[in-house]
Amino acid sequence: MMKHIDELFKNIPKVPIQKFTVKDFQTDQDVRWCPGCGDYSILAQVQRVFAELNIQKQNTVFISGIGCSSRFPYYMDTYGFHGIHGRATAIASGLKVARPDLSVWIATGDGDGLSIGGNHFIHICRRNIDVKILLFNNQIYGLTKGQYSPTSEFGKITKSSPQGVPDHPFNPLLLALGAEASFVARGLDRDPKLLQQVIRRAAEHKGTAFMEIYQNCNVFNDGAFFKFTEKETKDDNIIVLDHGKPMIFGKEKDKGIKLEGFTPVVVSLKDGKHSVNDLIVHNEKDTMLSFILARMSNFPELPRPVGVLYAVERPRYEEVITQQIKDSIQKQGEGDLEKLLNHGETWTIQ
C-alpha cells in the first residue's frame, strides 16, 4: 500500500542547521587530476560557494558519469554517486524525484554529457528538474587520452582525427536553450570570481541550472581557451553579461554590441558614431536574446558571452509529480500494488 506522500519523509532524521567552512567540503581523498588542470579551480570555487551559502552537506549529492570531471564526487565531502558513462543525468533525475528535499548536482564533461549522455541531457533540461549541471568543457576527451569530443572544433587534429575533425561541434549553450533549460550560464576556470558568481546563481535557482565551464586540459588540449582567459587578451574577447546593463567590453571599455536586425555586431564607442544608448541591454529573461548571445560563440569576430545568459522560473517536474500523487491519493485513496499489477488481461506462462 502506498503511503501518503507527506509521510515518505517522516522517518528521515532532522539534522540541525550547521555552519560549514570550505574545509568542511574537502575530503581526505588525494585529488588525482594532472598538475595544472582547470578542474582544480572548479572544485575550489564550488567549495567556496557552498561554504558561503552554507549549503548543508548532509542534504547534498554530487553525481557523475565517466571522465576526468567525474572524479568530482570523491573530492566533495557530501553524498556522492559515481555512475556509468553518460548516465549521471538519468540517476540525478530519479534521485530528485524520489527525494525532492535534496540538493542534487551533476559533474560532467563535454564527452560524458553531450555524447553518450546527450539524450539524457536534453530531457532533464526540458523537464526542468531542480538539478544543477556543471559541464566541464575542454573540447577533448582527456581521460581516454586525446580523442576529439562533441565540442572539438571542425578540422582539429587529434589522435582520433589525424586528418581533422569531420564533425560540426555542439554549442552547449544553444543545446541547453533549445531543450528549454530554465537557467543557462557560462564560466571560466581561470576567472574564479566570475565562476563563483555563476555557481552561486545556479545554486539559488529553482529548476534545471546548466553551467558550461571552459576548462583547460593542459595535457591534451592546452590553451584552447587562453584567448578568453588570459590577462593580455581576455578583455577584448569576452563580454561579461550583467542583467539590465548595456553590453560593453574591451580593455578600455570602448566597444559594445549592437543589434542590426537580429544580428549582433561590434561597434566602437569612441568613433563618434555610436553611444551606449545604441547597445543591447542584457535581459536574462529574454528568450530570443539568449539564443542570439549563445550563437555569438560560433563567430570568431564576436566576443564570447560569459555569465548568466538566461534565467527564468517555470514549473518543476518533481513538484508536478509530487502534486499529482497527492491529488491521486486524495481522490482515489491509497494505491493497491497487487491490483495494479493484475488488472486487465493477464497470462500464465507454464
Mean pLDDT by 10 residues, the chain (350 residues): 53 75 96 96 98 96 96 97 95 96 97 94 97 97 91 91 92 97 98 98 98 96 95 97 98 96 95 94 98 97 98 96 88 80 81
**Residue 93, pLDDT score:** 96
* Domain-embedded: residue 253: no
Q: Identify the bridge partners of residue 61 per DSSP, sorted by sequence position.
A: 79, 104
Reported pTM: 0.91
* Spatial distance between the Cα atoms of 147 and 88, rounded to a whole number of angstroms: 21
**Residue 1, pLDDT score:** 39
* Domain-embedded: residue 323: yes
The C-alpha cell 555569438 sits at 296
Q: Name the residue range of residue 53's domain.
A: 5-230+315-342
What are the grid coordinates assigned to 230, written together? 588570459
* Domain-embedded: residue 319: yes
**Quick one: CA torsion of 144, 149, 153, 159, rounded to 10 degrees?**
30
* Domain-embedded: residue 14: yes
Q: Identify the bridge partners of residue 239 per DSSP, sorted by sequence position.
A: 305
Q: How many CB atoms lie within 10 A of CB 24?
A: 15
Mean pLDDT of the chain: 93
* Domain-embedded: residue 281: no
**Residue 149, pLDDT score:** 94
* Spatial distance between the Cα atoms of 318 and 326, rounded to a whole number of angstroms: 12
Contact criterion met (CB below 8 Å) for 139 and 327? no
Give the C-alpha distances (Å, rounded to integers) separating 247 from 202, 269, 271. 22, 11, 17
Main-chain phi, psi angles of 109, to 5 degrees? -120, 175
The pLDDT tens digits for 190-234 are 999 999 999 999 999 999 999 999 999 999 999 999 999 999 999
Sign of CA dihedral 317, 320, 326, 330: negative
Total structural domains within the chain: 1
Direct distance between the N- and C-terminal alpha carbons of the chain, in angstroms, rounded to an integer: 29
* Domain-embedded: residue 288: no
Contact criterion met (CB below 8 Å) for 257 and 279? yes
* Spatial distance between the Cα atoms of 122 and 17, rounded to a whole number of angstroms: 35
E strands present in the chain: 60-64, 79-82, 103-109, 131-137, 183-188, 209-214, 238-240, 248-249, 255-260, 263-268, 304-311
The C-alpha cell 518533481 sits at 318
**Residue 171, pLDDT score:** 97
User: For strand 248-249 and strand 255-260, is the pairing parallel, antiparallel, or unpaired?
Assistant: antiparallel
* Domain-embedded: residue 38: yes
Runs of H (alpha helix) within the chain: 39-53, 72-75, 88-98, 110-111, 118-127, 172-178, 192-204, 226-229, 287-295, 317-332, 337-342
Which residue from 346, 262, 313 is spatially nearest to 128, judged by alpha carbons? 313
Which CATH number do you get for residue 226? 3.40.50.970
User: For strand 209-214 and strand 183-188, is the pairing parallel, antiparallel, or unpaired?
Assistant: parallel
* Domain-embedded: residue 12: yes
**Quick one: CA torsion of 89, 93, 96, 102, rounded to 10 degrees?**
0
Give the C-alpha distances (Å, rounded to integers) separating 344 from 196, 279, 335, 339, 341. 55, 64, 16, 9, 9
The C-alpha cell 578542474 sits at 39
